[in-house]
Structures are given as structure tokens and as C-alpha cells.
A and B are shown apart, each in its own frame.
Chain A
Amino acid sequence: MILFNKIDKYILFDILKNRIVIAYTILLGILAWSVFTLEADSNKGVLTLLNIVLLTTPLVSIIFTAIYLYNSAEFIELLLSQPAGRKKIWNGLFFGLFASLAISFMLGAGIPILLFAPPNISLILVVMGCLITAVFVALGFLCAILTRDKARGIGISILIWLFFSLLFDGLVLFLMFQFAEYPIEKAMIGVSAMNPIDLARIFIILQMDVSAMLGYTGAIFKEFFGSGMGTIIGFATLCLWVIVPYWISLSRFVRKDL
């Protein structure tokens, strides 16, 4: 593995020994193994696991990141008194946190996915799991820099998770009923890009046969995301979900008084 600087290496080893992260790995492992061994149809297994992963991974990633950053306040101060630039320190924290959470995702869910799921789906599922981890680590960085108050920061991170995993879908459903008379299928693609979790879900479902059941909207989605250009745009949008929140947090950290 490429280590971007020295700080992330030590943070990575620190987090890998963290009890919450170990519990998260074991939980993902138990869920993934039991889903695949209990379900004869591996496609159904993937769907079940997809829903579990898209619920737990964002939650753990964003809250753990926010808590870790708040608890590291004094440690970050100490790092700042060393001859290291602020960007390097913040990048080190990001890669340390992302790498450790991605590794625990790979160990817990990645191994059973690669063993049991059909090859074309397993790869994209693992990649999406890591990307979603990166997105919510980046959002965790944003929460931690927005406010000095730990309780408020963690509250914001829970709200962000709640919004993207539950409230957003309700909102979309509401809009769909309101505008049912209009041809909104194409607009739905744009709306789905506003939610990284939905984007990841669409990516994976479209790889599977079940996408045939999604109806007309599903067909439009398939037409868009199934094409080479659509895949690239969707993937780039997910990457933007990592880059933009992280970049905002970085530009604030560079100017922050600690």
C-alpha cells in the first residue's frame, strides 16, 4: 500500500486496534457470512447485504470519523507544533481514517462478497463499499471542522446520515407523487446524484437482473448508467462527493485557530 505520509501510517495502526472498528469488522463479517450461507440464491444475498452495507457503512464512517477527530484535538495541536504543514497533517488524518475503515470493510464484508457473489457484481460492490466509506469519512471531516463543540458536531453527522439514508428517499417519493403527471424520469437521474448512497445503490442494482423490475424509471436509469458515459459520470459524481466535502474541510483547517 502507498502511504502518503508518515502520519497516516501511525493513525492507521492506532485505529485498526480501536474496539469500535474491530466490532464493526466482526459485525460486517457475521452479517455477510450469514446472508450468503443462509440464502441459496446469491443474487438475493447480494441485495440483502447491499441494504445492510448501505445502512451501516455510512453511519460508522461518519460518526467514527467525527468522534476520532474531536478526540484528537490535542494530538492535532501537537502535530502542528512539529515541522509539518497543515495540509500534510489533515491529509494524513484523512488517509489514516479512510484506509483503516476501508480495510475493516474489506476484511468484514469484502472477503465473503468476493467468495460468494457473482464476479461482475462482487467487484463493483466492494468498490462501492470503499467509495461510500470515503464519502462519509469526508463528510465526517466536514462536520468536525464546522463546529468546535463535540456534541453538536456528532449531532450534525448523525443528521447527515439520517438525511441521506432515510429522509432523502422519503423526499424523493413525495416529489414523485406530486409530479406524477409530468415526465420526471430524466430529472430523477439528476436527483439521485444528490445522494451518494442512492448513487451507489443504483450502480449495483443495475448490474443485477432485478433491475428489470424497476419499471420505466429503472429503464431510463439503465439506459443512462448502463452506457459508458453514464457510468463515468456516475462514478465521477461519487468521487466529487469525496473531494468537495474534504476540500472544504481542508481549506477551513488551513486557516483555523486551534
Chain B
Amino acid sequence: MIEIKDLNKQFGKFQVLRHVNLNIDAGQCVAMIGPNACGKTTLIKCMLGMVIPSSGNIYIKGKDIAGQFDYRHHLGYMPQKGRYPDNMTIGQVIDMMKDIRKGQSPFDEQLIYDFKLNTILHKKMRTLSGGTIQKVSAALAFMFNPDVLILDEPTAGLDPISADILKEKIHAVNKQGKLVIITSHLLSELDDLVSHVVLMQDGSIRFSMPVDVLRTETKTHSLSKAITHILKHDLVQ
């Protein structure tokens, strides 16, 4: 589904991504983890076409994405920190996105109702709290039934109930065979969701493997323990 080949990215002298190679398939739920400034966000932005790689290629559904934008019909993106034009209402933001992606109906509006956004459609984006903006971002990401969902710290600003709603939705979509990529620092949050783990460090991929393999290898039950175990004992080279 997504194939990344020898991807490099430099910002000036600073090399953010070094020789990244990665294969992810449909139906997986991938957790991208790693310390701050390890290149997670840059890698995601490369997939979304926001950052243009210095060298290397990304193939989504078999097609090179360099200079393209049609492939984004298959993508849903939920940013870590969403911000929308101040005077637009929630309803207008949703309408605008529908307008931009007109051909992709029927729209999946379940999250709009689950988050009860339908009752506050007239509210201006300026007046919304951080959590509510996150809900709008989440609703927009899922609205167009994308084959690939990229979620940057999806539950960071949400209350536990809303986070649960979102996790349910991620789980449901993943079961339909869609690919979900999540970045998060909260490993315990991801425990019951993810099927694969990609650990990044200093701009390169340290390892990428299914969760069950990781658990058996480290003989631990929870994801966070497994990761800390690996980091402490430096098991994977």
C-alpha cells in the first residue's frame, strides 16, 4: 500500500531523515513511535506531500507521489494541532472540505454525530476549545472513507470519553481493511489498537515489526514495556 524507498530529507545541514525504507500494507494499524525530533512528523509530511524529500521515493498504491496530488483522494489526515480560519463556522469548514472532495460521497459523518458536532455547527472556529477543534479535525479525516488514515497524536487533546469514541472509530475502520498510521507518545493508549510498530530514532527506522512478534521476543504483555525493554537492552540493531 505504502512503499518508501531510500528516503532522505535535509533541512539545511540538518539531516532529518536518513535512508528510510518502509513497507506498510492495507489492514495494518501502524504505530510510529520515537523520541521527539526523530523525524516522525517529517516522514508523515513527506507522505502527505507537505515536505518534499531531498531524495528517494514514496509509492502509494503503487504510484510515485512526487509532484502528484490525486493520490490524496485516498488519504485522510488528522493534524496534531489543527487551526482553521477564525470566522468560519464548523458547518462551513465541513462544507468546504466536502466541496473540495466532491466526488467522494457518500460521506462518513458518524463522528460528527458521535462527537455531537451537529449541535454546534453554527459556532465559529475562533470560539472553540482545543479539544473541540481536535474533534473537528478527526471528523474531517474520517469523512471521506479514505484507504489510508494518518493520525498525528490523535488523542492528545481529547477527554477520555471522546478519546474512546475516536479509538472505537479507528478500530472499526481498521477492521474494514483500511490502513491506519498513528503517531503517539502515549504508548499505553495504543496497546489495544495497533498491529505493527515502527520505531524511529535520529531520522532512521530502528525497527518495524508486528506487535505480537515484539511481545513474544521481549516476553512482555504491554507495548510500552516491550519498547522500553528494547531501548534499555538495545536488542535490535
* A residues in contact (CB < 8 Å) with B: 6-7, 10-11, 13-15, 17-18, 71-75, 77-86, 255, 257-258
Q: B92 interface residue, CB < 8 Å from A?
A: yes
With A13-B92, A257-B50: A77-B85 Cβ-Cβ less than 8 Å:
no
A14 touches B88 (CB 8 A): yes
- Once the chains are docked, how many angstroms separate the CA of A77 from the CA of B44? 12
Name the distance in Å between B68's Cβ and chain A's nearest Cβ.
Answer: 9
Q: Which residues of B contact A6 (CB under 8 A)?
A: 96, 99-100
A257 touches B51 (CB 8 A): yes
Cβ contact of A81, chosen from B75, B83, B87, B96, cutoff 8 A: B75
Q: Which residues of B contact A71 (CB under 8 A)?
A: 83, 86
Q: How many residue pairs bridge A and B at CB < 8 Å? A: 82
Name the distance in Å between A25's Cβ and chain B's nearest Cβ.
Answer: 15
* B residues in contact (CB < 8 Å) with A: 11, 45, 48-52, 69-73, 75, 77, 79, 81-88, 92, 95-97, 99-101, 137, 140, 150
Q: Which residues of B contact A13 (CB under 8 A)?
A: 87-88, 92
- Once the chains are docked, how many angstroms separate the CA of A124 from the CA of B150? 52
B100 touches A81 (CB 8 A): no
- Once the chains are docked, how many angstroms separate the CA of A137 from the CA of B57? 36
Name the distance in Å between B63's Cβ and chain A's nearest Cβ.
Answer: 13
A10 touches B50 (CB 8 A): no
- Once the chains are docked, how many angstroms separate the CA of A6 from the CA of B86? 18
Measured CB to CB, the nearest residue on chain A to B88 is A14
Cβ contact of A80, chosen from B48, B73, B137, B140, cutoff 8 A: B48
Residue with the greatest number of chain A CB neighbours at <10 A, chosen from B71, B79, B87, B99:
B87
- Once the chains are docked, how many angstroms separate the CA of A86 from the CA of B79? 18
A81 touches B77 (CB 8 A): yes
Q: Which residues of B contact A83 (CB under 8 A)?
A: 69-73, 100-101
A17 touches B48 (CB 8 A): no
**Chain B interface main SS type:** mixed
Measured CB to CB, the nearest residue on chain A to B72 is A83
Measured CB to CB, the nearest residue on chain B to A96 is B85
A257 touches B52 (CB 8 A): yes
B50 touches A14 (CB 8 A): no
B50 touches A80 (CB 8 A): yes
Cβ contact of A74, chosen from B52, B72, B82, B99, cutoff 8 A: B82
B100 touches A7 (CB 8 A): yes
Q: Which residues of A contact B86 (CB under 8 A)?
A: 14, 18, 71
A10 touches B52 (CB 8 A): no
- Once the chains are docked, how many angstroms separate the CA of A46 from the CA of B22? 67
Q: Which residues of B contact A80 (CB under 8 A)?
A: 48-50
Q: Which residues of A contact B97 (CB under 8 A)?
A: 82
Q: Which residues of A contact B100 (CB under 8 A)?
A: 6-7, 79, 82-84
- Once the chains are docked, how many angstroms separate the CA of A198 from the CA of B183? 54
Q: Which residues of A contact B45 (CB under 8 A)?
A: 257-258
Q: A11-B85, A74-B82, A78-B77 are in contact. List 7 more A-B contacts (CB 8 A).
A: A10-B85, A10-B92, A71-B83, A74-B79, A78-B82, A81-B50, A255-B52
